[in-house]
Every structure is written in structure tokens, then in C-alpha cells.
Amino acid sequence: MSLHPQKIIIDTDPGQDDGVAILLALASPELDILALTTVAGNVPLALTQRNARMICELAKRTDMKVFAGSDKPLKKPLVTAENVHGKTGLDGIELPEPTMPLQEQHAVDFLIETFRSAPEKSITLCTLGPMTNIAHALIQAPDIASRIKNIVLMGGGFFEGGNITPSAEFNMFVDPDAAKVVFSAGIDLTVIPLDVTHKAMTNAQWIKDLRGMHTSVGEAVAAWTDFFERYDKEKYGSEGAPLHDPCVIGYLLRPDLFSGRHINVEIEADSSLTAGATVADWWGVTDRKANAYYLNHIDRDGFFELLTERLGRHA
């Protein structure tokens, strides 16, 4: 393990799977989480910022800085996903209302200030929701593009198509204009699409293992999984559900568990039929410049072994 933990900022729209990703990151000493910045996505911003603080309190990390960011996409009206995540965004278990503070500063201002003041390319940005905050920061402060070490993002799909429309994954669909800004900013991008996360499927044994931890974190993750699995089981007829966002953190911890290709990925933002589609030139049929490391493989069992061991570290 490196003596110097990786500095990261997690931009998130909790969401049960965001919650599991945050709990994984908080249990991993390889990562130095500078802050959570929240965005409207799975549920409105008032709930995503609340949920982020509830997750930190569940992990007994009331010291974590949580910022509220954008409450709507750059151009499109907000689309949320209560049908998947429930009305609170963290349905499945009752958690106490958060008492830790929400930071006063707007998340976008925090991002700009942090990337301008930190040593160049010293911080990784992990995005788990619509990329609205990042796009606003890049629009207001284009100079930070060269200062961001890299962005590891959950979003998009090529072989798997979409999950909210036939051609678009939710994070990209909610704010395709923001994704377009980020994908054309010349930043080092690692894309973790449905082509990976649909192979990171939960199952009944895993939920059993979580409950076997006899901890509040184990119980919460088991209850969240029980809840959001119902949607995917009905939709895909699968035994479990894809664990999307934790794959971002899993990649940071064990990149050897993943593989992909450096390719060109463009975002469709204007078509009413395919808005949010990630047009991934996997077969290199265009002369468009590669702008992303696009993953399509995960060692599913290795990932769940890592995830379970780390979640087991929470009291």
C-alpha cells in the first residue's frame, strides 16, 4: 500500500449504491477523502445532501465535509429516480436525521477553490451521479481542467446500451450537456459504464454475509440492497442487482480487477431519441481522438471480496 493515500473528492447523488461506494471509500486507508460534493440526481438535492450526511454519520465520520451543489442540470429539467431508490433516495432502512453540518460554501465554488489551491494533478475526482457540478466548475474556471489529476466516473454504456432509455445510462441522461463539457475538457477520464457494472451483480449470499457482520453498516447495506434489488430483478429477471457506484472506488483500490480500452467517447446531448448516449468508438471505426479509458471488464468475485472485507472494517 502506498505511504501517501490518494487524495479524492467524491461527487455524489445518494442513492443506495452511492452509499455503498462512500462506505467502501471511508473504510480504505489508501484513500484520503477531502470532501463529498452532492448533486441532484437519484433524488432532489435537498435529499442527496441529507443522505450524504446520513451515510457519513452511519460510518461515524461526522468530521467529513459535505457540500451541496447543483439542484438541476445545466439545461434539461431534472429527472429523478425515486422508482428505483425510493422517495428518500435511501429507502430500505430508517436512519436518523443527520446532525452533522452541511458546509456553507457551494460545492462548485469548493471544487474551483480546491483545484486552484492544491498542487497540480494531486486530486482525483470520483463522480457517482450526473456531472453537473463538474461542468459548472469547468465553465466558470476552465483553468482547473489541467489541474485535475483524473476523473473516475460511473456512467454510460455501449455493449449494454442504456438503463433509463434504450440508449442512455441514468447519470449521462440526467445531464448530457454537463457530460459533454467534461468529456471535451481534455481531462484524464476513466469511464466505468453499465458494461462493467452490470457484471457487478449482488446475490443472496452476499446479503447474508453482510447481515453476518452484525454491524450497523452491514445491516444498512443489506437493507439497501434488498430494497433496490427489487427494481432490477423485475426489470432484468436477474437474481441480484448491479452495484454501480462502488465500482468507481473499487477501481481506485484495485485497478487490476478491471480492464478496458483507451478510446473515443462522445456524448449525444441534443437528440430527443438518444440524449445521454455515450457513443463509444470501441472498434476504432472513426478517426476521433481517444479521450477516455473505457472499461468493459471486472473480476466480479475479486471485487465483492474486496468490498465485503472493507465494509467489514466498519464498527
Which residue among the candidates 4, 244, 262, 314 is catalytic per the annotation?
Answer: 244
Query: Using CB under 6 A as the criterion, what x/- string covers residues 13-52 for binding ligand RIB?
Result: x-x-xx----------------------xx----------
18 or 226: CB nearest ligand RIB:
18
Query: Per the structure block, which three cell numbers stand in for 302?
Result: 475479486
Among 70, 124, 133, 163, binds ligand RIB (CB under 6 A): 163
Going by C-alpha positions, the residue among 71, 201, 54 that lies closest to residue 129 is 71
Contact 307, 207 (CB under 8 A): no
Between the CA of residue 108 and those of 72, 112, 186, 269, what are the distances in Å? 13, 6, 19, 22
Residue 192 is inside which H or E element, if any? Answer: strand 189-192
244 carries an active-site annotation:
yes
Number of H helices, E strands in the chain: 12, 10
Among 171, 190, 278, 291, binds ligand RIB (CB under 6 A): 171
Among 11, 18, 175, 177, binds Ca ion (CB under 5 A): 18
Site membership for Ca ion, residue 129 (CB under 5 A): yes
User: Rounded to an integer, what is the distance from CA 183 to the centroid of its chain?
Assistant: 16
Going by C-alpha positions, the residue among 149, 115, 107, 157 that lies closest to residue 132 is 107
Site membership for ligand RIB, residue 258 (CB under 6 A): no
Q: Sign (positive/negative) of CA torsion 170, 171, 173, 174?
A: positive
Site membership for ligand RIB, residue 69 (CB under 6 A): no
Q: Is 64 helix (H, G, I), strand (E, B) or coil?
A: coil
When CB distances are held under 5 to 8 angstroms depending on the partner's kind, the choice from Ca ion, ligand RIB, none that residue 169 binds is ligand RIB
Report, in Å, the least distance between residue 119 CB and ligand RIB.
Answer: 29
169 or 177: CB nearest ligand RIB:
169
Interface residues with Ca ion (CB under 5 A)?
13, 15, 18, 128-129, 245
- By annotation, the residues acting in catalysis are 244
Interface residues with ligand RIB (CB under 6 A)?
13, 15, 17-18, 41-42, 128-129, 154, 163, 169-171, 244-245
